[in-house]
C-alpha cells in the first residue's frame, strides 16, 4: 500500500461524554465489530469509581488500565481506526483537553435520560472552538428517556451545535421497536439481545410502503412517517463538507449495551470521518502527505514500574513516516534522538513496529527528555501549536516535609509536571512553589506518587488564588506594567516555561485589574501567543 493510501485509510478519533453515559461500553462494541476483541467485558473502564479518592491502590490500578486503553486501534472495512481514550472524570479534564489536540474527529455520547450533562458541555466547547468534526450518539434507548426531538433541541441549545439526525428511534424504553436509519434507508428491529454481534436490517427505501405497518404496527408506522416528514422540514440535509468543517453534527440513536445502532454509527463514521488533518505549527501549516516526519507529544505516562524510571511519551504523527532507529530532531532540546523500540497500539496491547503513518500514535520510551507539547521533526525547526494549559481551579503551596530529600522532591515535582498532572507556579517574590490543579484529587495523587516513586514527602498549605491569568503587557517597559507588578507582587509568579502569571484571588480582582491597567492583557489559557 502506498504512503498516500495508508494516510487515506486512517481515522483517529476520541469518544467524549459525561461519566456513565456509555463511553466504555460503546468503545467495546466498536472493538467487537473490528474483531479486535472477542467478547464483551474485555475493555476495562478507566473511570475513577466514586469514593475512590482516598484509595490509592485504586488510583494506581486506574493508571495501569489507562496505559492499556490510551490508544485502541483496530481495522474495519479496510480502515485503520485509532480510538484515543479520554478520561471522563472532571479532575482529569486537562488530560482530555490535551488528547483532543491529537484527534481528527470525535463521537459525543449522550445518555437519553440525562440529556446534555456538564462534562459534555465543557468538552464539546473545546471541540467546537477547534472545528473538530463531531458525531452525536444518543445512548440507552432501551430505557425510558427524553423525547428525541426535545433532546436534539437540548443538544443544539446547550452544546451550541447544528444537528441533523441520520437515524431515528421508533418508540423508546418499553416500547422501543428499533431504529430507522435515515442514512442507509433501512430499519433495524430491536431484539434486546446484548450477545448479538451482527444486526439484521430490513431495507426500506420507500417509507410509504404498506409493508411498514406489517413490521412495526400501524400506529408506530404512522408516527414514524410523521416524524420523518418533520425531520425533513426542520433539520438541514446532511452534508459531508459541513460536517467536516465543524458546521453540522449528525445524530445517531442506539443502545451500546445491546449493541444496537452501533454498526450504523460505525459504518457512517468510516465513510464520512476525516482522514488525518493538517496541523498548524508556529511557522506553517503541516500536511500529512509531506514526506518528512513531524509529530508532537500529547501525553506522557510515567513510572508504571517504580523499579525502572520508565516513561512512555505518546506522539501523534502529523506528517511523514515514523521509523525505528532513524534520528529525529527534538526541537525544544535541539538534539537528535533515535528510538529502537517505538510502540504502536492495537486493541489492548502494544507492539514494537518498524513504521507508523500520519494519524497513528507511537509510544516512545523516554528517560526524561519529553514534555507535553514537544515537537519531533526530521530537522525542521518548528513547534506545533495548540496544547494549552487552562487555568487551574485549586491552588496550594507545596512544602518539603523531609529536608534530606529536597533533590528528590524537586525531581519528582518536575517530572509530574512534565506529565501534565498539575501546573507549577513559582512566586516572583520569594521563589515559593504553588501547585495548581483542576480537581482536588490531584493533590492526593501527587503526594502519593512523590512518596512512592521519588521517596519524597510534601505537605500543602492553602494559597488564596482563584484563577491563573497569563499576563501580556502591551509594552513591557511602560510605567503601568511596572505599577501593576508592584501592587500585585504577592500574586505574581511564573509558569514552568517562565511565562508571567497573575494568580488572582477573585473575579473582582481580575475585573479591577483589567479596568485599572488596560495596557496589561490577561489571558485564561497559556495558549495566547
Among 85, 91, 94, 142, which residue sits at the site for ligand G4P (rule: CB under 6 A)? 142
User: Nearer to ligand G4P by C-beta: 48 or 300?
Assistant: 48
Q: What is the dihedral of CA 357, 239, 74, 115, to 10 degrees?
A: 130
Choose between 96 and 447: whose C-beta lies nearer to ligand G4P: 96
295, containing H or E segment: strand 294-302
Instruction: Answer whether 60's CB lies under 8 Å from 303's CB.
Output: no
Q: Does 140 bind ligand G4P (CB under 6 A)?
A: yes
87 is in an annotated binding site: yes
Quote the strand ranges of 308-427, DSSP E: 311-319, 322-323, 328-330, 335-337, 343-345, 350-352, 355-356, 361-366, 375-377, 394-400, 423-427
Nearest to residue 434, comparing CAs of 391, 464, 396, 471?
A: 396
CB of 114 to ligand G4P, least distance (A): 11
Q: DSSP labels for 65-124?
A: HHHHTSEEEEEETTEEEEEEP---SGGGHHHHHHHTTS-SEEEEEEETTTBS-HHHHHHH
85 is in an annotated binding site: yes
Residues 27-86 that bind ligand G4P (CB under 6 A): 45, 47
Which of 136/376 has CB closer to ligand G4P?
Answer: 136
- Quick one: 49 or 219, whose CB is closer to ligand G4P? 49
518 is in an annotated binding site: no
Give the torsion sign (CA, 277, 131, 526, 363).
Answer: negative
For residue 302, the minimal CB distance to ligand G4P (Å) is 24
What sign does the dihedral 437-438-440-442 (CA atoms) show?
negative
With CB under 6 A as the contact rule, which of the stretches 17-25, 54-62, 231-239, 308-316 interacts with ligand G4P? 17-25
Nearer of residues 41 and 334 to ligand G4P, judged by Cβ = 41
21 binds ligand G4P (CB under 6 A): yes
Q: How far is the CB of 139 from ligand G4P (least distance, A)?
A: 5
Nearest CA among 270, 252, 275, 222 for reference residue 137: 252
Closest distance of CB 46 from ligand G4P, Å? 8
| Nearest distance in Å: CB 206, ligand G4P | 30
Map the footprint of ligand G4P across residues 253-292, applying CB under 6 A: 255-258
Q: Is 147 annotated as a binding residue?
A: no
Binding ligand G4P (rule: CB under 6 A), the pick from 14, 16, 24, 500 is 24
Q: How far apart are CA 322 and CA 342, in angstroms?
A: 9
Q: In angstroms, what is the minimal distance from the CB of 442 to ligand G4P?
A: 20
Residue 23 found at the interface with ligand G4P (CB under 6 A) = yes
Tell me if 24 is assigned to a ligand binding site: yes
Chain residues binding ligand G4P by CB under 6 A are 17, 19-25, 45, 47, 88, 139-140, 142-143, 255-258
Binding residues for GTP: 17-24, 85-89, 139-142
Amino acid at each position: 500500500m502506498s504512503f498516500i493510501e495508508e494516510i487515506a485509510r486512517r481515522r483517529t478519533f476520541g469518544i467524549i461524554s459525561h461519566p456513565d453515559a456509555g463511553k466504555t461500553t460503546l468503545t467495546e462494541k466498536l472493538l467487537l465489530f473490528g474483531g479486535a476483541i472477542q467478547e464483551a467485558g474485555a475493555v476495562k473502564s478507566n473511570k475513577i469509581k466514586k469514593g475512590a479518592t482516598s484509595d490509592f491502590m485504586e488510583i494506581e490500578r486506574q493508571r495501569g488500565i489507562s496505559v492499556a486503553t490510551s490508544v485502541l486501534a483496530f481495522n474495519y472495512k479496510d480502515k485503520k481506526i485509532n480510538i484515543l481514550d479520554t478520561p471522563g472524570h472532571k479532575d482529569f479534564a486537562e488530560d482530555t483537553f490535551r488528547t483532543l489536540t491529537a484527534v481528527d474527529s470525535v463521537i459525543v455520547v449522550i445518555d437519553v435520560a440525562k440529556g446534555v450533562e456538564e462534562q459534555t458541555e465543557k468538552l464539546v466547547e473545546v471541540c467546537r472552538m477547534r472545528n473538530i468534526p463531531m458525531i452525536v450518539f444518543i445512548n440507552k434507548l432501551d430505557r425510558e428517556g427524553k423525547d428525541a426531538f426535545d433532546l436534539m433541541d437540548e443538544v443544539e441549545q446547550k452544546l451550541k451545535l447544528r444537528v441533523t439526525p441520520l437515524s431515528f428511534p421508533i418508540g423508546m424504553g418499553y416500547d422501543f421497536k428499533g431504529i430507522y436509519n435515515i442514512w442507509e434507508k433501512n430499519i433495524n428491529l430491536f431484539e434486546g439481545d446484548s450477545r448479538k454481534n451482527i444486526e439484521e436490517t430490513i431495507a426500506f427505501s420507500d417509507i410509504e410502503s404498506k409493508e411498514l405497518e406489517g413490521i412495526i404496527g400501524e400506529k408506530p408506522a404512522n408516527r414514524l412517517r410523521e416524524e420523518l416528514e418533520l425531520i425533513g422540514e426542520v433539520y438541514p440535509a446532511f452534508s459531508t463538507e459541513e460536517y467536516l468543517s465543524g458546521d453540522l453534527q449528525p445524530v445517531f440513536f442506539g443502545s451500546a449495551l445491546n449493541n444496537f445502532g452501533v454498526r450504523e454509527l460505525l459504518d457512517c463514521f468510516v465513510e464520512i470521518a476525516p482522514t488525518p488533518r493538517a496541523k498548524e505549527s508556529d511557522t506553517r501549516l503541516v500536511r500529512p502527505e509531506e514526506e518528512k516526519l513531524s509529530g508532537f507529544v500529547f501525553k506522557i505516562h510515567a513510572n508504571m514500574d517504580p523499579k525502572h524510571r520508565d516513561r512512555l511519551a505518546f506522539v501523534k504523527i502529523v506528517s511523514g513516516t515514523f521509523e525505528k532507529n532513524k534520528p529525529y530532531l527534538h526541537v525544544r532540546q535541539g538534539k537528535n534522538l533515535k528510538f529502537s523500540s517505538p510502540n504502536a497500539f492495537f486493541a489492548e496491547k502494544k507492539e514494537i513496529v518498524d513504521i507508523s503513518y500520519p494519524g497513528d500514535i507511537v509510544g516512545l520510551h523516554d528517560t526524561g527528555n519529553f514534555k507535553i507539547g514537544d515537537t519531533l521533526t526530521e530537522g525542521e525547526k518548528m513547534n506545533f501549536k495548540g496544547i494549552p494549559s487552562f487555568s487551574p481551579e485549586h491552588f496550594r503551596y507545596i512544602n518539603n516535609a523531609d529536608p534530606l530529600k529536597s533533590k528528590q522532591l524537586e525531581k519528582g515535582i518536575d517530572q509530574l509536571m512534565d506529565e501534565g498532572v498539575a501546573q507549577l507556579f513559582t512566586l516572583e517574590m520569594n521563589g515559593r512553589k504553588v501547585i495548581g490543579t483542576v480537581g482536588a484529587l490531584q493533590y492526593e495523587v501527587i503526594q502519593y506518587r512523590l512518596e512512592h516513586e521519588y521517596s519524597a514527602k510534601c505537605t500543602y498549605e492553602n494559597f488564596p488564588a482563584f484563577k491563573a491569568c497569563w499576563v501580556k503587557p502591551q509594552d513591557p517597559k511602560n510605567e503601568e506594567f511596572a505599577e501593576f507588578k508592584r501592587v500585585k507582587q504577592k500574586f505574581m509568579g511564573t509558569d514552568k516555561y517562565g511565562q508571567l502569571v497573575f494568580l488572582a484571588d477573585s473575579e473582582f480582582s481580575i475585573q479591577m485589574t483589567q479596568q485599572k491597567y488596560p495596557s496589561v492583557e490577561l489571558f485564561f489559557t497559556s495558549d495566547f501567543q
